Structures are given as structure tokens and as C-alpha cells.
Amino acid sequence: MTTTTAEPRSTEPRTAPATTAELRSADLERRIAQDPAGFRVLTGDRPTGALHLGHYFGSLRNRVRLQDLGVDVIVLIPDYQVITDRDTAERLGEYTDGLLLDYLALGIDPARSTVFTHSAVPALNQLMLPFLSLVSVAELNRNPTVKDEVAHSRQSTVSGLMLTYPVHQAADILSCKGDVVPVGLDQLPHLELTRTIARRFNERYGKLFPEPEALLSAAPLLLGTDGTKMSKSRANSIPLSATADETARLLKGATTDADRHITYDPDTRPNVASLVLLAALCLERDPHEVAAEIGDGGAAALKRTVTDAVNSHLERFRARRAEYAKDLTYVRSVLRAGNERANALAEATLDEVREAMGAFR
Ligand code: ATP
Ligand code: MG
């Protein structure tokens, strides 16, 4: 394994001082570069719809990059979490196939990385029991991401599973002792609770778990076409699997603002800035420069630039995805193999947990 001391990659110039989370993420990036094989990634995407550009720039691209650096990357499709905020797991098989196609087409390599669904890993789910005992109801009630997801959910009441979603996520991450979690900003409160659970378990029963850290990208909160967080379930996303024409149509409908002069100013013009950033990330250019070039061209020119940039950036991905789609038998076999490995890891962790607790033999 070759190691590198390269500086962490950042394609986004800062317009504001870095937050604590960003500083911690940059420090983590440095440590990974020094010893990639010493880290394990656990992260994933709910099979609630098609993956979108927010996933790609927020997390997926980092996963592939880390895999290629030599980090052990484990990607979870948290299928039970689909029923946190909806009555049925409708179209679960179709969405799971779609996620697998996206991962493979983006470069997740099953020879080096693992993809699994947590409903296939009973030991992982069993970890929720001791973990639930380590958190208070008040802590769960305070979680801002849960509050936000409740606000956007299709349900009038909050299910127990929704409230305990972050604990389930702790079980996901700690079942394989993941220590790096490439996520978007919305996941930071969840990850904080995972760290709390790991710490409390270690204090109470002896050190067993790492305290996983968030790895943020240059686009930790990409906005959707309506100006709120791009989300699978908010009808505001640009799916990676959309055709070039669909992508153009969706971007055309994106919310902008009344100022015709295009600038990159995330604080005062979040909608325009998110589009500029999208183009800049695809073109690997500075967003200020991209905005300056569009200048007085207005929203129409901005949207044309973004559409061209996204479509050419995704061209190779789309071709690879279409190839994989011809062989779903292979695609599903990747998940079966991943489930086997995840079971072995989670069973070993559960054994250690029981041993540490000195009970439940
Ligand atoms: P849902 O609407 O079903 O909750 P979602 O679009 O929020 O779907 P998730 O499966 O909840 O997607 O999130 C998967 C990962 O992608 C998480 O790490 C999350 O932080 C990241 N992510 C999701 N949306 C964005 C976004 N708009 N910008 C950056 N990262 C994102
Ligand atoms: Mg979400």
C-alpha cells in the first residue's frame, strides 16, 4: 500500500471561516492520507428513491476516492430505515437495484469494497438493544435532523423507529467499527449521537468502539430545485440516473432569485450559489470564476452552464450504468457477497459486546 502526504482536496474556496466540523474533517483527511489502510468507512443511502447530485457531491465521490486510496469502504443500504417515515417500503427492490447500479457505475469496486443491506444482518439490528439503553429520550427528542425529517415526512405522528433512527445508525456504523463516515451536513447530529454511544459504551464496559468521525465534502449541503436540501423524498432532486434531457428540464425549473447578475454568495444567495457550485464542481473550477463568467447572463445562462456541466460530467457514468443494468444477476450478487461479509463483522462485534457486558451468553 502506498501512502501519501498530499494535502486534503478542497475544490471550494472559502467564503466564510471554516466551522469546527469542517476543521475536524480536514484534520481527519490528513490522517487518512498518512495511513489509508488504518481506516474503515461506513456510510450509506436509504433506498427511498434514486440517488441524486447531493449524494454524489456530498458523499459518493468521497467513498470512491477513499476506496482508491486504500481505505476499507463499507456502503450500507439501510432498508429498515425506509419505514421510519412512511407506512410501507414501497418499491424497495427497485430502489435497491438502482442504488447498486449507481455505486458500481461510479466506481465502487466489489473486490475492494462492501455493499450490504441491514435487514440481511440480524446481529447489527440486535446491537440496537444495548445502544438504546445508553441514550435518553430527551436526547432523542432534541435531534434536529429527526425534527426536520419528521417535518418533511408523509406521516402525521412520529414513529418510535423514527425517534430511534440515530441509534439504529450507531448500530450500523459500530457493527463494523467504522471510524470514517463521509456524510452531508444533515447527518452531523446523528453522527454525534453515534460518538456519544461509543464513548458511553467504552466508559461503562471497557474500550471496544472507535468514535467515528464525519468526513465532509466541498458540497456538504447541496440544495434542490426548490431551494431546500436536495432529498430523494422531496421531489426536488436531480437524480444521477436521469437522462440528459430530464436533467435539463429539472434544472430549468430550479428556483433562483430576482438579481440578474450572477454571483457566488452562499450566505445571501443560497439558490444561485448552489447552482454555481454544482457547475464549478463538475467543471473542477472556482465557483467565483464560474459566476463571474456568467455575469449579467442571468438565470437562463446560469442554468445552461450548469446543465452542460452536469451532463458532460455524468456522461461516462451514464454509459457504465446502462451496461451494468443489462446484468442485474451480477449486480445482485454483489449485494449477496457484501451481506455475507457484513454478517461476519456484525456477529463478531455482537460477541464482543456481550463479552464486554459480561452477560447475555
Ligand atoms: P431521504 O429524503 O429519503 O431522507 P436523502 O436524499 O436525504 O433521502 P439519505 O439517504 O438520507 O438521502 O442520505 C444519504 C447520504 O447522502 C447522507 O450521508 C447524507 O448526508 C447525504 N446527502 C443527502 N442529501 C444531500 C445533499 N443535498 N447534499 C449533501 N449531502 C447529501
Ligand atoms: Mg435523508
- CA 174 vs CA 84, 127, 297, 343: distances in Å: 20, 9, 50, 13
pLDDT category at 17 given cuts 50, 70, 90 is: low
Q: Do 176 and 60 sit in the same domain of this protein?
A: yes
Locus of grid cell 443560497 = 270
Same domain, yes or no: 205 and 273: no
Q: Can you give the residue range of the structural domain that contains 274?
A: 232-320
Q: Is 53 found in the same domain as 35? A: yes
How confident is the prediction for the chain on average, in pLDDT? Answer: 92
pLDDT (tens digit per residue) in 203-215: 999 999 999 999 9
Number of structural domains (the chain) is 2
Please state the pTM of the whole predicted model.
0.91
* 132 & 274 share domain: no
**What's the mean pLDDT in 110-118?**
97
**184 CB within 6 A, ligand 1:** yes
Is the CB of residue 62 below 6 angstroms from any atom belonging to ligand 1?
A: no
pLDDT for 72 equals 98
pLDDT at residue 89 in the model: 82
> Is 100's pLDDT higher than 70?
yes
Segment 349-361, tens digit of pLDDT: 999 999 999 977 6
Ordered DSSP codes for 165-234: HHHHHHHHHHHTT--EEE--GGGHHHHHHHHHHHHHHHHHH-S-----EEE--S-TT-B-TTSSB--GGG
pLDDT band at 14 (very low <50, low <70, confident <90, very high): very low
- Do 124 and 46 share a structural domain? yes
Counting ligand 1 atoms within 8 A of each CB, the residue from 92, 231, 278 with the most, and so the one to mutate, is 231
Whether 74 and 174 share a structural domain? yes
Residue 3, domain member (yes or no):
no
Strand order in the sheet with 72-77: 114-117, 72-77, 40-44, 180-182, 213-215
Q: In this structure, which residue's CA is closest to atom 19 in ligand 1?
A: 184
Gap from CA of 51 to ligand 1 centroid (Å): 8
Atom from ligand 1 closest to the CA of residue 48: 3
Helix and strand counts by DSSP (H, E) for the chain: 16, 5
Model confidence at 12: pLDDT above 70:
no
Buried-exposed string 86-105: b where 16+ CB fall within 10 A, e elsewhere: eeebeebeebbbbbbbbbbb
Residue 4 lies in a domain: no
